[in-house]
A and B are shown apart, each in its own frame.
Chain A
Amino acid sequence: MMQDASVGFAEVPWRAVIRVGLIGAAVAIFLCLVGIVPVFHARPLIKDVISLGQTAIVLALLWTGLMAARTSEVRGRLTVLPGALAGSIAGAGLTALVILGELINVRAAFLNASPALYEILTFGNGLAGSWIAIVIGAVLGAAGSVGAKLPIASRRPLTTFVLTLLLAGLFAGILRTAMLSTPLAGLGRLLFAPLGLTIVGAIVTVVLFVGGGELLFYTRVRDRVKAMAPAQQRLVTWPLLAMAAIAVLVLPQALGPFVAQVVALVALYVLMGLGLNITLGLAGLLDLGFVAFFAVGAYTVGLLTSTAEFGLADWPFWAAIPFAVLFAMVFGAILGLPILGIRGDYLAIATLGFGEIIRILAGSDVLKPWLGGPRGILNIPKPIDVEPTHFLAGPAQIYYIAIACAVLIAFVAWRLRGSRIGRAWLSIREDEDVAEALGVNLVQTKILAYVLGAGFAGLGGGIFSSLVGSIFSSSIQLFVSINVVAIVVVGGMGSIPGAVLGAIFLIGVPELFREFSEYRFLFYGAALILMMLYRPEGLMPTRFAAREVHLESSELGADTVVAAPTESS
């Protein structure tokens, strides 16, 4: 046994381990300086135990240990020591940061290198406590390396454990508010603090979720359901679907006005995500100018319905919205016709240019007499306003309208995919030249996808303007386009549940945590890169897309390199 260990000791690639440790240190220092640690420290995950900021560092150190264990895999032995070493190197990075901060004024450049940050890193002990990070790093690194060695059966509940704790901690405040108005108020207070879980809550959540999840896993409920006869399966799935539908319907009522506003926004982005899903997911046209048609829709509804200065017609919302869609489609056709001959990545830039043109024009003095410039159009009425009772006033109605539209779009997209035109889109996405050779009219097929996407963007814009009640040129931002693209990509191109999931993660979660909204786009960027690196087919890909992506990167990948000569000569 001893002998084995010493052989293993020599075989460990210590250089690689040290490299992993240094990368871990860089990540940890990055998390500190970019502000994630100090800003998220204000929010407890478990009250009085650990904050979100600390969690970020803990996760970074665990990851370091895990990676160290993976790089130093020597016949399945001796991974704790490398893990601990890498972890302590990463921790030493933090120690170095503290010492450096004591010696020179790092804050002159990096705003987050503040005394508050050093206090978090040293647990309030100042320079004397700077060594603590190394010890914690070693312990967590070792823990991470153990995690890497665990058999699958025990690794899975651990991941669930971490995820559950994170989610429960994040949503504790919202759950608490929701429970306080019900008979469950006492339970709510017991489990959740205003921010983060209580200790009791943490234990209960973990036991409930991990235990319940394991129970489901070990009793193989899923397999049993799958093994049932179709008729019996329906008995299980239909009630579940019905429950989900009811949950979707009562959601804004149950969770209070703030959350209702957020879910309305999420529903709106689901709608737009589904719209772009046709352009990007089916036809493969990367449209970064989605906001242009969003703007057309929003301003059309604004102009036609507003009762304030720039309003033209005082129409009700329902009369205006078809025109919003129509104008957006006309715009889509006019803009799309000339540019759709352009190849994929050039198209992205050209559409980006369109988005910017529309944004600048909307805010410029040229169109100010009609669109109000930065002052915008005010007093856009809500779609449903029943005079005496104000039934369904507020964002809840937008939520329902957006959901209804989203269902409609999902249906259209689903029916289109199997149709002749849908298959033409898919073929264009695969290979334009081959599609053309097979008799697909490229420009016309593309324009259909583009115009449909534009119409849905216009619909989204119209609904948005009545959700907010006004439309300013500052609402027309590149971010709208990027949001929608990110939703589609992260969710999975062409996938309908993917768009829903993407909107919840990318719009809903950041909206709920307003205090971290500055970091939203940092996470977006990271999510887009990570998605492309590890899961280019998205979180919930269609079966088709998943197969295709893996095919292309594994087998066809080699061919594309060889094919390059003909392409560039």
Chain B
Amino acid sequence: MYARVIERIMDGAIAGVLWGFRIGVVLLVVVGSALTIGSGRHSAETWLALVVSGVVVGSIYALIALGYTMVYGILRLINFAHGEIFMAGTFGGYFVATLLAGIGFLNLNPLTSIISVVVMLAGAMVVSVTLALLVERIAYRPLRNAPRLVPLISAIGASFFLQYMFRGFFGPGIYAYPTVSILDAQVPLGLEGFRMKWIDVLVIVSALVMMAGLFFFTQRTRAGTAIRAVSEDKATAALMGIDVNRAIVMTFAIGAAMAGAAGVLYGLIFRQVYFFTGFVPGIKAFTAAVLGGIGNIPGAMLGGIFLGQVEGVGPTLFLSGLGVPSPNQLRDVIAFTMLVLVLIFRPSGILGERVAHRA
């Protein structure tokens, strides 16, 4: 009898806390935004710049998120080491770029710069894919039929191993990315107050191209169909003559290639790389994947852009009006809060099917 009463009270408390969460967040967002806009402290130009940078960063998140989403779709595994695969790509691009800068090819003329960027992207993809396949072979494949926590912990181990492997290889220092001068020039848009660099264009366009390519690949080609079949149902796919192993390996390779490319783009924007570079973008990209609906490829793109906006515009919009000192310090807090909120209230994400509450 008492147990029942206590249970009722607990249920009430849980509902209360959840509603408190909702109301608190909504209040914070509404009041904060109203105060910030009312104060008129920030010009339209600032807002536009924030939006642009949000789209750019969001595109990078989206590219990384694809790897999470595809691997989760096929193995139901959160590939914790994916952020490090991304970091490996950043390093790969760095060394290619230094090599090209060393022989004076990188900034010789616009054409060589473009070729250099393409070579950097290719080099980074090769590094990332190699590493991802090694990780899959060593740390994940033997555990495919183990209880769910087992591969997850193995993935956490792989993430740490890769981070400190890179630290061992290249030291704890921060490497400054070589500059590609044409990418830093402004795009002559002729719009008042709206500025964009070529690098921003490069990021957005390459993200779009890769997403479109991936979408075409998964929807229209045989190999893509095989991947979709395996992620739908491994056993039946195997019965239909699909090589399940090959499909899984291909999924890892594609995800890693995207992450490698994202690594170069990230390096070109933020101009630095070190062994811990992958951690935060990795978690945020996972957030983006969850936001868009995990397992859903267009969802990853949408989630990435959305997250980029929230953390680009969010700190200024929600917090500066409330008088929070240096709101940009709290950018990651906003991103992680987003993650938790999505997990609580809509684990299926914007476009996804409902999966998160299932055992």
Q: Do A and B come from one complex?
A: yes
Binding site for B on A (CB under 8 A): 33-36, 108-112, 284, 286, 288, 334, 337-339, 341-346, 348-350, 352-354, 356-357, 360-361, 363-366, 368, 431-433, 441, 443-444, 447, 482, 485, 489, 518-522, 524-529, 531-533, 536, 549, 552-553, 557-558, 560-562, 564-565, 567-569
- CA A286 to CA B153, docked complex, whole Å: 9
Counting chain A CB atoms within 10 Å of each CB, the highest count among B7, B10, B162 belongs to B10
Query: Across the interface, do A564 and B233 meet the contact criterion of CB distance under 8 Å?
Result: yes
> Is B330's CB within 8 Å of the partner chain A?
yes
Partner of B343, one of A344, A350, A558: A350
Closest 4 interchain pairs by CB? Answer: A528-B157, A525-B161, A525-B160, A34-B168
User: Which residues of chain B are near A558, meaning CB under 8 Å?
Assistant: 145
Query: Across the interface, do A349 and B78 meet the contact criterion of CB distance under 8 Å?
Result: yes
User: Which residues of chain B are near A526, meaning CB under 8 Å?
Assistant: 157, 161
Query: Across the interface, do B154 and A356 meet the contact criterion of CB distance under 8 Å?
Result: no
Query: Across the interface, do A286 and B152 meet the contact criterion of CB distance under 8 Å?
Result: yes
Query: Across the interface, do A365 and B153 meet the contact criterion of CB distance under 8 Å?
Result: no
- CA A568 to CA B171, docked complex, whole Å: 43
Query: Across the interface, do B147 and A34 meet the contact criterion of CB distance under 8 Å?
Result: no
- CA A55 to CA B195, docked complex, whole Å: 59
Counting chain B CB atoms within 10 Å of each CB, the highest count among A364, A482, A519 belongs to A364
| Known contacts A348-B78, A360-B329, A360-B330: A528-B7 contact under CB 8 Å | no
Stretch at the interface among B59-67, B109-117, B331-339: B331-339
Partner of B143, one of A108, A366, A485, A533: A533
Chain B contributes a number of interface residues (CB within 8 A of A) equal to 70
- CA A565 to CA B153, docked complex, whole Å: 24
Partner of B14, one of A108, A112, A337: A337
Query: Across the interface, do A356 and B336 meet the contact criterion of CB distance under 8 Å?
Result: yes
Query: Across the interface, do A564 and B235 meet the contact criterion of CB distance under 8 Å?
Result: yes
Query: Across the interface, do B159 and A525 meet the contact criterion of CB distance under 8 Å?
Result: yes
> Is B28's CB within 8 Å of the partner chain A?
no
User: Which residues of chain A are near B205, meaning CB under 8 Å?
Assistant: none
User: Which residues of chain B are near A532, meaning CB under 8 Å?
Assistant: 139, 143, 146, 150-151, 153-154, 157
Nearest opposing residue in chain B for A26, CB measure: B134
Stretch at the interface among B210-218, B306-314, B351-359: B351-359
Query: Across the interface, do B357 and A112 meet the contact criterion of CB distance under 8 Å?
Result: no
User: Which residues of chain B are near A110, meaning CB under 8 Å?
Assistant: 169-170
Query: Across the interface, do A346 and B347 meet the contact criterion of CB distance under 8 Å?
Result: yes
Query: Across the interface, do B326 and A364 meet the contact criterion of CB distance under 8 Å?
Result: yes
Query: Across the interface, do A353 and B336 meet the contact criterion of CB distance under 8 Å?
Result: yes
Query: Across the interface, do A521 and B233 meet the contact criterion of CB distance under 8 Å?
Result: no
Query: Across the interface, do B326 and A432 meet the contact criterion of CB distance under 8 Å?
Result: no
User: Which residues of chain B are near A527, meaning CB under 8 Å?
Assistant: 157
Query: Across the interface, do B168 and A529 meet the contact criterion of CB distance under 8 Å?
Result: no
User: Which residues of chain B are near A533, meaning CB under 8 Å?
Assistant: 139, 142-143, 154
Query: Across the interface, do B359 and A443 meet the contact criterion of CB distance under 8 Å?
Result: no
User: Which residues of chain A are near B164, meaning CB under 8 Å?
Assistant: 518-522, 525
User: Which residues of chain B are near A337, meaning CB under 8 Å?
Assistant: 13-14, 17-18
The digit string for B167-193, where 1 denotes a CB below 8 A from any CB of A, is 111111000000000000000000000
Query: Across the interface, do A528 and B154 meet the contact criterion of CB distance under 8 Å?
Result: yes
9 further A-B pairs in the complex, CB-CB below 8 A; given A338-B21, A357-B333, A564-B235: A348-B78, A349-B283, A353-B340, A364-B333, A522-B167, A524-B157, A525-B160, A528-B153, A528-B154
- CA A489 to CA B147, docked complex, whole Å: 14
User: Which residues of chain A are near B359, meaning CB under 8 Å?
Assistant: 343, 431-433
- CA A34 to CA B236, docked complex, whole Å: 43
- CA A354 to CA B146, docked complex, whole Å: 28
Partner of A444, one of B7, B149, B165, B290: B7
Nearest opposing residue in chain A for B319, CB measure: A366
Task: Offer 14 A-B interface pairs, CB within 8 angstroms, sorted by A.
Answer: A286-B149, A345-B152, A356-B336, A360-B333, A518-B167, A521-B164, A522-B168, A525-B161, A528-B156, A553-B147, A557-B146, A561-B234, A567-B76, A569-B233
User: Which residues of chain A are near B98, meaning CB under 8 Å?
Assistant: 108
Partner of A353, one of B234, B235, B339: B339
Minimum distance in angstroms from B134 CB to a CB of chain A:
10
User: Which residues of chain A are near B170, meaning CB under 8 Å?
Assistant: 109-111
> Is B246's CB within 8 Å of the partner chain A?
no
Nearest opposing residue in chain A for B81, CB measure: A525
Partner of B283, one of A352, A447, A549: A352
